[in-house]
Structure formats: structure tokens, C-alpha cells
Amino acid sequence: MEANLALGNTRYLLVTSRQFSLTGDNLYAVNEMWAVDLNAHLTAFPNLHIFAPFDPQYQSVKYNFVFSKESTITFHCLPNFVSTRDCLKKLPQTLGILIRNIQKEDIVQSEGDITLPVGALALVLCALMRHHKRILILDADPIGVLEVRVQSEQQRMRKSLLIILRHLVRLAERFLIAISPLTFVVGDSLYSTYAHGRNVKKIYASWLSKNSTITHAALGRKIRTTLNRPSLSLVFAGRLVRQKAPDIAVKVAAILDKRGIAMTLDVYGEGPMRDELLDLIARNGLSGAVALKGNVSYDNFRQVLTKYDILLLPSLSEEQPRVLFDAMANGVLVIASDIASLSGLITNSYNGMLCEPGNPESFALAIEHLYLNKKDIGPLLRKGVLMSRENTIESMHEKRKSIILATFYDYL
């Protein structure tokens, strides 16, 4: 209790490479859910200071940012950058801002993105200043996307360079963990890599509010609708990039269509694979069954998600997709690749289904089984809803808060 009282007056600093701009009450950020995450952060740490690259022209997604009157949030502008090289050139300016603003009593949380090392710089600076209350966040694998791309291109030279680069990134991240009194890693895949580091804690990332899960009555109605409908409605949601494997989703639809399995597939998202997907749809005669829906805001997507039966997550490499919890919370069955970041959350044939990564036949067999045995869908959906209720954005921040208080109790 004393720690909670002390925390109310403690500044909590977030140092990140996420770009933003601010106009009045409108926060423009990399996506609308960053603002939602900040709002949830405020409930745990009411004196929040954000250090991030400021771009007055950056207007990706607008979010009307209203926060509790008992809380304060202050934005500090770091130099904006357009690339890793530009970021490195401006590190001296960034360093000056951090030195002038970080106080001894602050809790400093740094994002450990090695490719845009703003957070890494803050962590090293705090270590040199003998600042005790420093936290590292690792929530992405910067090499994963490149690995998938190189594997698909079959370029031997690039593969060799990528192996060297991966070792360098791992060394850098292990160094950051070693100098951080507390490290949070997001998802099972990253945790399996760094579990033996100094005070490393695993968390799951979620944008799901505790009040937004489907009710028991609504879930019952949804299950009955699925059982009585002659077809299955499938959905894919994510960037149209090799890592997310949207082409696998379309190939699954092609296999099911050839087998006479009545279904539709809607693909949400944009990316460099869009033209490839359009070609794949045309070549397989799927224009009546598969539709590319483009981007949609998170709030709108949550509303449309409820009409689908199955979410496909055929990712080849993934940290921990938040859409998994959104689907489960809305009574949508998740069928995903059996990779480390997903198999830690999905137990096959218990709260979802797991399939061989990169194998559309494996996904098609799972869906065909459900189509022929729809009675199996209900129990899977109910277990998925229970899983989502245990992984809300509020519970994530409360868990982080309790770990932070326990770690830094002597300094609060």
C-alpha cells in the first residue's frame, strides 16, 4: 500500500521510437491503439511522460485523447527521423533531451528496438547514470520479417548475411537485458529466446477491454447461427506481407472451393502482396468467394469481426498478434500456424486449432473437419472466450504494475 501511495507521485517515463503529432486533444500516432494503450497505462501509472519522435505533419490515425482528471500525461518531443541511419545521426540530440529531463526518482521504460535505438540509448544512459528504476520492453523480432522474405526469395548470400545480423541483434538485446533490472518480453517466442536473462518476465499484449467480450447469451446465439448456416465465413486480418502469409489464406479458400465446401473469405489489410493476392484470386476463380476489404479502423473491425466464424492466422513468423484475443472475445474461432508465439496461447482442439505453418492443405483439412462436424465449434469458442477474458489490456497493465512495484519497492 505504501508503494502505491509513493507511485502516485512518481513520474513514469516511456521512451519509444513511435512517431506522433499532437493538435489540441487529437493525438496522431502510428495507430489508434497506441493511444488506447497509453490510456490504460495511465490507470496504473497516473504521472506519465512520453518521449517520442515528434512530427508535426504526421497524421496517420487521429484519436481524441481524453484521460482521467486524476492523471497527467506529458509529451516530450524527440527529433523525428525517416530511417535507421537518420535516427543514428540524431542520437546526440536525443541524448541531450534525455539527459536534461530524466530525474533520479523516475521510472524509465525503454523500448528495445535495435533498428531504431531510441529506447536502447535511454537504457544505456540510465545505466551510466546509476539510475536504478529502468525497464526494458522487447515486443518485436526485427529480424523475423527479413528472414521470411529471404527464405521466400531463396537468396543464399542474403541468408548468410542474415545469420550474422541475427547474431549481432541477439548480442545487442542480451546486453540490454543484462543492464536492465527488469525486462518485459511480449509473447512466448521472444520469451523462449531470453527466458534465462536477468529478471525477464513474459507478458501478453492486448488491446481488448474487459467490457468488450461477448456475453454468454450472445455467444449461444452465435453458435446456433453457425450451426444452422450452410456455409462458413472466414476472415484474415493483418498486413499483406510475406510474414503474415495472406497468400496461404487465399490458397486455403481455393482448396475448400474445389472440394465443394461452402465458404467465404474476407481479407482485411493492405501491403505489398495485394496485387499477388488479386492474381491468385483471379487464377483460382475465387472472385465470388474471396474479397480484399482493405484497411479498417480497429473500432470498426471489432464490430465487423462478430459476423465471422473463423479467423485465419497463417503467419510464418509472429511475435504475438493482438487480433487473436479480439477474435476469441467475439466468439470467432482461431485457426493458426503452429509456431511458438501462437502455440503458447492456442491449445489444439481445446480453444482453437493449430496447423502446419506454410501448408494450406493443413488449414483446409481443419476447416473441412469443422464444416462436417459443426458441433465441435461451440466448445472451442467457449474456451476461447474464457482465454480472452484472462488477457485484457487492463489485466496486462495490472500485472506489469505489480511486477514493477515488487522489483523497485526499495526505491519507491
pLDDT tens, residue by residue, 5-26: 456 578 999 998 877 766 655 5
pLDDT of residue 8: 59
Lowest average pLDDT, out of 122-136, 149-163, 192-206, 277-291, goes to: 149-163
Q: How many CB atoms lie within 10 A of CB 330?
A: 26
Q: How far apart are CA 296 and CA 237, in angstroms?
A: 10
For residue 403, report the phi and psi dihedrals to the nearest 5 degrees. Answer: -65, -40
Q: Is the pLDDT assigned to residue 66 strictly greater than 60?
A: no
pLDDT digits 0-9 by tens, 264-290: 999 999 999 999 999 999 999 999 999
Q: How far apart are CA 340 and CA 71, in angstroms?
A: 38
Q: How far apart are CA 363 and CA 338, in angstroms?
A: 11
Half-sphere exposure of 112 (CA within 13 A, CB side): 28
pLDDT band at 2 (very low <50, low <70, confident <90, very high): very low
pLDDT band at 368 (very low <50, low <70, confident <90, very high): very high
- Cell numbers representing residue 350 in the block: 481445446
pLDDT of residue 4: 47
Cβ-based burial of 166 (10 A; exposed 0-12, middle 13-18, buried ≥19): middle
Beta-ladder partners of 366: none
Percent of the chain with pLDDT over 90: 47
Q: Which of the given ranges, 45-49, 355-359, 392-396, has the highest pLDDT on average? A: 355-359
pLDDT digits 0-9 by tens, 229-257: 999 999 999 889 888 999 999 999 999 99
Can you list the domains of the chain with their CATH numbers? 2-206+392-411 (3.40.50.2000), 216-389 (3.40.50.2000)
Q: How far apart are CA 79 and CA 73, in angstroms?
A: 19
Q: Is the pLDDT assigned to residue 211 strictly greater than 90?
A: no
pLDDT of residue 48: 87
Residue of 99 and 340 predicted with greater confidence: 99
Rounded mean pLDDT of the chain? 85
Task: Give the Å distances, CA to CA, from 386 to 30, 409, 410.
Answer: 30, 33, 36
Is residue 387 classed as helix, strand or coil in its secondary structure?
helix
Mean pLDDT for the stretch of residues 292-317: 88
pLDDT of residue 24: 56
pTM of the predicted structure, to 2 decimals:
0.84
pLDDT of residue 3: 43
pLDDT band at 45 (very low <50, low <70, confident <90, very high): confident
Q: What is the dihedral of CA 195, 201, 205, 208, to 10 degrees?
A: 140
Mean pLDDT for the stretch of residues 204-224: 89
pLDDT digits 0-9 by tens, 51-65: 988 776 655 444 555
pLDDT band at 141 (very low <50, low <70, confident <90, very high): confident
Q: Is the pLDDT assigned to residue 35 strictly greater than 80?
A: no
Q: Is the pLDDT assigned to residue 70 strictly greater than 50?
A: yes
pLDDT of residue 299: 73
pLDDT of residue 68: 59
pLDDT of residue 34: 66
Sheet holding 61-64, edge to edge: 20-23, 26-29, 61-64
Percent of the chain with pLDDT over 70: 86
Q: Is the pLDDT assigned to residue 377 strictly greater than 90?
A: yes
The answer to whether residues 183 and 201 touch, using CB atoms and an 8 Å cutoff, is yes
